[in-house]
Structure 1
Amino acid sequence: MTEADGGPDSRGPGRRRAARLGLAAVLAASGCAPPAGPAPLDGRRVTALLGRRATALLERDAAAWRATGSGTGADTLWARLAAVPLGGWAYQVTGVQAGSATATVEATLRYRLRAEDPAPATARRLLDLVRHEDRWRVRAERAAPGAAALLWDQGTVRARRGTWGLGLGTGSAAELDHFARLAERAVPAADAAWGGDWPRRIVVLVPGSLAGTAALLGARPGTYRGVAAVTTGSPAPGTPADRIIVNPEAYAGLDARGEQFVLTHETVHVATRTATGPATPLWLSEGFADWAAHRAAPRPLAAAAPALTAAVAREEVPPALPDDAAFAFGGDADDLDRAYEGGWLACRLLADRWGPGRLRAVYRAAGARQERHGAEEAAFREVLGIGLAEFTAAWRAYLRQRLGPAA
């Protein structure tokens, strides 16, 4: 055979290699190239994955959720969120660190509680991804370093909803029902004291421990030891609803009156949030909340203000209204008690002598200012026609009259 007829040269090693190369080129040109492995992970692909995951969660589509996850960590989050009334859930990817089989994603979670949040709350999160069957899936999610945890990071969440708002907790049903009953009385009491334009609904978070409370606040547990509840929120319009975060360990040491007092006090902070500004002194904001709570369940002054009663008996009447530093936790307990009692009795004096409406007007006038310096003076002159020095003198006389031996 000749070469033209396909002689021996056509069967040589060089011709066979060329044939193979030619076949590979044809396959590539026709779109039939052998798979080169999964495409590299980038922000766009992660955003698409997390978008599918968020949709599955909001629609409670278990099959779609499982398609985005891998392992028990992903399934745990699904179960923990089952009772949470979510109205929104979305991620904004801020960073991706990917290896060949695992990845860590930094993201901002925006979630909204249905019927409670006028706008999404935000949380910084870390998500662990794993490549499974050549597809990336979420293995676990947690708070980013230094960020506050979310309640469902701590366990399965129970929910209670009423005309007063929403309670979410990781403890027993009985515990959550108890706080719901406290809330039913707290909201009307706060509304009677403040009135005005506020949602008349609260969100109460009940973690299982002091450590859980601190984690929700992004703090160390010792920071809130002995503090029964804390309210977080922003006065800006279009922001998420305030959260009243309970410390169950401190609550366990309260009697029935104390339990109600604390939740009413915190609910008043929710009511007054939009009128509270950077110039509002703590004696006024904390004192008003105490005034409202005491007003709902009055008791003798000596029993309600034991620290100041003892100080007046020693002829140690405070020379001035308590400053903001006096309200710091972690210091002397008697000093803190005197600060709260002093702020409450200043607000009580305002309500007794000038009327509750003037007390509320002073609160709003102080909160409307941006600069703290001179805010109290301006608020007193605007609403009462007197200055801070004159009011302070009246407050000191009020303490002697109401708490002194002849009271």
Structure 2
Amino acid sequence: MAGRRRASRHGVIALCLLLVSLVACGGRPASDTARADVQRLLDRRAAAVLDRDAAAFRQTGALDWFENARGVPFAAWAYRLTGLHRDGATATADAELSYRIEGYDNAPVSVGRTLTLSLDAGGQWYVDGEKPAEKSAEQLWDQGAVTVVRGEHSLVLGAGQPTEKLHSYADLADRAVPAVSKAWGADWAGHVVVLVPTSLEGMAGLLGSPASSYRGIAAVTTGETGAPASAPADRIIVNPDAYGVLGSVGKQVVLTHETTHVATRAATTAATPLWLSEGYADRIGYLGSGRSPVQAAPELWQAVTEGRLPAALPEDSDFGFSGNANRLAQAYESGWMACRMIADQWGEAKLREFYKAVGGHKQRAGAVEDALDRVLGTNLDDFTARWRDYLRDQLD
């Protein structure tokens, strides 16, 4: 009797293991065989993208966004299956997509994708649809057909935008790159990638954030602070709604500002306060524009003339896009005036050195104070007093 009970328990365990190998936990995740089959499907799909082979792509399933992305110069495209949830003849796949744009990305851009799959009568998996994974940003080709324009120092990708307009962005970027290199130096990529979606909502989709966060913002630059040379290229993402209402000078200032962020990315770290990173980008953006402090800093000018002189440099929280628009404008203008003052009183070379010294600090605490002492020979109290005097002199 005892022997039979032991044999029965072993049989139950073996049966459970067999069931787990077939259906896994709860019957949702797929078998290893299905995972391998789907990974091979995704590998064929990736090869079709790189080969720009519509027929081969169609053999993996629906054409979906394929034609939208066909003109983008991809150097690499690969999927890594991270999850597969099967329900009979259908499944949902979670995958990490990694791609590189030829001549611009030194490392892959990685994004999450969700694919819906189905089995045909012959037991082959096909992709019925592909979209950004939950909480992952859209890609430009998710929004429509991508037009590609190459400049001397730029690659402009637009969705739903006329080619002529995209050429105007390339012209602006091609003027911005040499201007930034002249001010910052040539120790950066020396070219930029500009994405122009159809609207503010398209911009928000590319950033994976609500549109309300960027209303009135002409452009932003994506990228990892302190990124090494092996990082993917930053993307300058334009809000065509806000950018379109700017004059020619304003458009150039914005593109040069964003290009400065690209150039300074490796020297910009968690130790760098936003008043310095945004102020320096504005400093380079406004160089040669002919704009006076009163013209370029209207919110700060109004505050100074009304006797509301800022007591201190702006905090990072003052730069929130979703906050008060006047407060945001004054924060940018305050950072710009601080960098302008350093250039006026210590020189452009010292401004660059100061920027790099702050970013080279191991942590935020003490970064500005240490750089003020080592590079400019001053302290935070003296610097703040000088800055306030400078505001009175330039804006009152």
Same fold (TM over 0.5): yes
Q: Which secondary structure state, in structure 1, belongs to the residue aligned with residue 144 of structure 2?
A: coil
User: Which residue identity lines up with residue 89 of structure 1 in the other structure?
Assistant: W
In the aligned structure 2, how far is the partner of 1:342 from the partner of 1:96?
A: 51
Q: Which moved more, 1:39-48 or 1:99-108?
A: 39-48
8 Å CA contact retained: 2:54, 2:63: no
8 Å CA contact retained: 1:189, 1:296: no
Q: Which secondary structure state, in structure 2, belongs to the residue aligned with residue 277 of structure 1?
A: coil
User: How far off its partner does 1:42 sit?
Assistant: 2.0
**What is the CA deviation profile of residues 66-118 of structure 1, one whole-angstrom value per residue up to 9, with x for unaligned ones?**
2212xxxx323221111100000000101001222221100000000011000
In the aligned structure 2, how far is the partner of 1:281 from the partner of 1:376?
A: 8
In the aligned structure 1, how far is the partner of 2:135 from the partner of 2:96?
A: 14
8 Å CA contact retained: 1:41, 1:98: no
8 Å CA contact retained: 2:151, 2:171: no
User: How far off its partner does 1:378 sit?
Assistant: 0.3
Pairing 1:357–2:349 present: yes
Pairing 1:191–2:181 present: yes
User: How far off its partner does 1:41 sit?
Assistant: 5.6
User: How far off its partner does 1:43 sit?
Assistant: 1.6
Q: What are the residue-to-residue correspondences of 1:4-403 with 2, within 5 Å?
A: 42-69=34-61, 74-134=62-122, 135-170=124-159, 171-234=161-224, 235-237=226-228, 238-403=230-395
Q: What runs of 5+ residues in structure 1 fail to find an aligned partner?
A: 1-38
8 Å CA contact retained: 1:127, 1:138: yes
Say which one has the larger Rg.
1
User: How far off its partner does 1:379 sit?
Assistant: 0.6
User: How far off its partner does 1:40 sit?
Assistant: 8.4
In the aligned structure 1, how far is the partner of 2:141 from the partner of 2:53?
A: 19
Q: What runs of 5+ residues in structure 2 fail to find an aligned partner?
A: 1-30
Give me the TM-score of the superposition, normalised by structure 2: 0.89
Q: CA RMSD in A?
A: 1.4
8 Å CA contact retained: 2:268, 2:359: yes
Relative to 1, partners in 2 of residues 1:193 and 1:131: Cα closer, same or farther, differing over 3 Å?
Answer: same
User: How far off its partner does 1:221 sit?
Assistant: 1.0
8 Å CA contact retained: 1:279, 1:369: yes
Q: Which secondary structure state, in structure 1, belongs to the residue aligned with residue 64 of structure 2?
A: helix
8 Å CA contact retained: 1:92, 1:108: yes
In the aligned structure 2, how far is the partner of 1:107 from the partner of 1:369?
A: 37
User: How far off its partner does 1:181 sit?
Assistant: 1.4
User: Which residue identity lines up with residue 185 of structure 2 in the other structure?
Assistant: G
Q: Which secondary structure state, in structure 2, belongs to the residue aligned with residue 42 of structure 1?
A: helix
**Residue correspondences, number:** 362
8 Å CA contact retained: 2:64, 2:130: no
**What is the CA deviation profile of residues 103-155 of structure 1, one whole-angstrom value per residue up to 9, with x for unaligned ones?**
11000000000110000001100011122242111121100111111111000
In the aligned structure 2, how far is the partner of 1:101 from the partner of 1:143?
A: 23
In the aligned structure 1, how far is the partner of 2:303 from the partner of 2:257?
A: 24
Q: Which secondary structure state, in structure 2, belongs to the residue aligned with residue 180 of structure 1?
A: helix
In the aligned structure 2, how far is the partner of 1:98 from the partner of 1:186?
A: 50
Q: Which secondary structure state, in structure 1, belongs to the residue aligned with residue 125 of structure 2?
A: strand
User: How far off its partner does 1:178 sit?
Assistant: 1.7
User: Which residue identity lines up with residue 316 of structure 1 in the other structure?
Assistant: R
Give the 4+ runs in structure 1 shifted more than 6 A.
none
In the aligned structure 1, how far is the partner of 2:163 from the partner of 2:391?
A: 44
User: How far off its partner does 1:161 sit?
Assistant: 1.4
Q: Percent identity?
A: 50
In the aligned structure 1, how far is the partner of 2:293 from the partner of 2:238?
A: 27
In the aligned structure 2, how far is the partner of 1:227 from the partner of 1:48?
A: 43
Q: Which secondary structure state, in structure 2, belongs to the residue aligned with residue 296 of structure 1?
A: coil
8 Å CA contact retained: 1:116, 1:165: no
In the aligned structure 2, how far is the partner of 1:139 from the partner of 1:245?
A: 30
Q: Which secondary structure state, in structure 1, belongs to the residue aligned with residue 345 of structure 2?
A: helix
**What is the CA deviation profile of residues 283-322 of structure 1, one whole-angstrom value per residue up to 9, with x for unaligned ones?**
1000000000111312222111111111221222111111
User: How far off its partner does 1:59 sit?
Assistant: 1.5
In the aligned structure 2, how far is the partner of 1:318 from the partner of 1:196?
A: 35
In the aligned structure 2, how far is the partner of 1:359 from the partner of 1:385?
A: 13
